[in-house]
């Protein structure tokens, strides 16, 4: 009992702003003994004040991570996160939870690798179980040319200090013996493996960052839709008009991927972005069968298995502009064909749910973290369908930009003007055709 009291004393001094429970074996035991009636809300549902130093629009993973790092790293705590619906209800709750840093281009690789390193320390930093599971990401190759491309990518990764292994067929067979190796059309010839890649629990990431931010004084305001920008005589953004009234701000950051163009249009800004729908799927719960994340190389299909047992998988975006958060059947068929081609065993598995999320498809397939031509307005956008894995580094870099007015060194390439200047970061080499990235 003595240690018990000492524990609470220590918590109070370490986190003077906090009223949240610090998770530990002791708090678990205490709450278990009190029939779990003593848990406090994880974060504070705030009423908006008249003004803040910084307003973040968008209470998804990126917006909450930005607020957390503004407070935790830069000491800026007079911050509000404004969310139209409920936090984590957009793409943060619609992704397939994959984390990886297997990028080739110099503008991308250091950023995503830093994000991976932040994932690796995230749970300790936030004192929150985000279920980060480094179970490996395996990209299959089905031809000599693909193997060459995988070797090139793997070498590029290793030059950036990222772990990468080029596997031959036997190497793949050890990891995933159930694949259809000798398929006549797309035989599996090997794979590129990133052992440190894996999955993380999407909503726990949201709640963890929300708790960390809220605990440091950040106001998380839900059901607060931004409907316009408050501009002064020089055109500088000095606040936002919302469904809960005017809120003034020193700086306003947008983290609303999927809807970036709609919010930017409120400031008469056109973006190099199209919104597209990406579908994802989950099966009924099964015993453990898929060891890590596996991607098919001859079609667009990727799959992992959640801790609950469901197979979580997806494929291509539907390919047409959409804000509808639901897709159409041709892509369902295409994804399932990809799955059947690489692992026919899943043919008997029943699909539980499918859903759609709206992606900010940028013109080169890479994101934007930059100031805008409008003073006081900052942009975090264009995550295409790779935003989840970027959550920690995106928040960290956007916080750095908002706090210092300078790009963080790992996100220096994610400029808004790179399209005009020709400094594109086009991993897939598709050009300005967002539905092909």
Chain residues in the site for another protein (CB under 8 A): 259, 261-262, 265, 270-275, 319-324, 326, 328, 330, 363, 419-420, 432, 434-435
Smallest separation, CB 68 to another protein (Å)? 29
CA atoms within 13 A on the CB side of 183: 21
Nearer to another protein, 206 or 425 (CB): 425
> How many Cβ atoms sit within 10 Å of the Cβ of residue 1?
5
Give the C-alpha separation, 92 to 202, whole Å: 6
Contacts of 360 (CB under 8 A, 6+ apart): 257, 258, 260, 261, 273, 275, 381, 382, 383, 384, 387
Nearer to another protein, 310 or 356 (CB): 356
Smallest separation, CB 288 to another protein (Å)? 34
Smallest separation, CB 275 to another protein (Å)? 6
- Tokens representing 53 are 């130093």
Give the C-alpha separation, 240 to 246, whole Å: 6
Smallest separation, CB 154 to another protein (Å)? 31
* Angle, CA of 86, 90 and 91, to the nearest 5°: 150
Nearer to another protein, 179 or 381 (CB): 381
Nearer to another protein, 38 or 373 (CB): 373
Smallest separation, CB 365 to another protein (Å)? 13
Give the C-alpha separation, 279 to 108, whole Å: 24
Nearer to another protein, 43 or 186 (CB): 186
Contacts of 59 (CB under 8 A, 6+ apart): 81, 82, 83, 86, 87, 88, 210, 220, 222
Spell 140-171 as b/e; 16+ CB within 10 A means b.
bbbeeebbebbeebbebbeebebbbebbebee
Nearer to another protein, 130 or 424 (CB): 424
Smallest separation, CB 369 to another protein (Å)? 17
Smallest separation, CB 273 to another protein (Å)? 6
Nearer to another protein, 245 or 431 (CB): 431
């Amino acid at each position: 009992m003595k240690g018990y009291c000492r524990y609470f004393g220590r918590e109070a001094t370490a986190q003077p702003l906090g009223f949240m429970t610090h998770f530990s074996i002791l708090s678990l035991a205490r709450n278990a003994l009190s029939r779990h009636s003593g848990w406090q809300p994880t974060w504070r549902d705030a009423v908006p004040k008249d003004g803040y130093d910084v307003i973040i629009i968008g209470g998804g993973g990126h917006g909450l991570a930005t607020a957390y790092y503004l407070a935790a790293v830069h000491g800026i705590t007079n911050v509000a996160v404004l969310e139209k619906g409920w936090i984590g209800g957009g793409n943060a709750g619609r992704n397939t939870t994959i984390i990886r840093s297997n990028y080739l281009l110099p503008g991308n690789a250091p950023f995503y690798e830093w994000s991976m390193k932040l994932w690796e320390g995230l749970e300790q930093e936030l004192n929150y179980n985000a279920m980060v599971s480094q179970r490996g990401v395996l990209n299959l190759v089905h031809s000599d040319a693909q193997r060459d491309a995988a070797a090139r990518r793997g070498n590029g990764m290793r030059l950036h200090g990222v772990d990468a292994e080029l596997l031959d067929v036997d190497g793949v067979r050890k990891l995933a013996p159930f694949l259809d190796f000798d398929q006549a059309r797309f035989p599996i010839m090997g794979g590129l493996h990133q052992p440190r890649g894996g999955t993380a629990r999407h909503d726990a990431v949201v709640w963890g960052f929300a708790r960390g931010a809220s605990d440091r004084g950040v106001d998380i305001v839900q059901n607060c839709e931004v409907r316009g920008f408050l501009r002064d005589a020089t055109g500088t953004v000095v606040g936002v008009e919302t469904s809960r009234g005017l809120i003034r701000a020193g700086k306003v950051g947008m983290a609303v991927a999927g809807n970036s163009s709609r919010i930017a249009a409120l400031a008469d800004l056109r973006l190099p972005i199209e919104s597209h729908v990406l579908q994802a799927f989950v099966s009924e719960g099964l015993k453990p069968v898929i060891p890590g994340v596996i991607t098919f190389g001859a079609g667009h299909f990727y799959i992992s298995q959640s801790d609950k047992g469901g197979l979580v998988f997806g494929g291509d975006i539907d390919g047409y502009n959409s804000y509808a958060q639901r897709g159409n059947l041709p892509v369902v068929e295409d994804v399932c064909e990809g799955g059947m081609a690489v692992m026919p065993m899943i043919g008997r598995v029943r699909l539980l749910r499918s859903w759609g999320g709206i992606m900010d498809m940028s013109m080169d397939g890479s994101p934007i973290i930059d100031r805008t031509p409008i003073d006081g307005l900052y942009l975090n956008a264009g995550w295409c369908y790779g935003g989840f894995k970027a959550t920690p580094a995106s928040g960290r870099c956007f916080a750095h930009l908002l706090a210092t007015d300078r790009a963080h060194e790992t996100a220096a390439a994610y400029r808004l003007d790179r399209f005009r200047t020709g400094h594109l970061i086009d991993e897939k080499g598709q050009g300005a055709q967002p539905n092909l990235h």
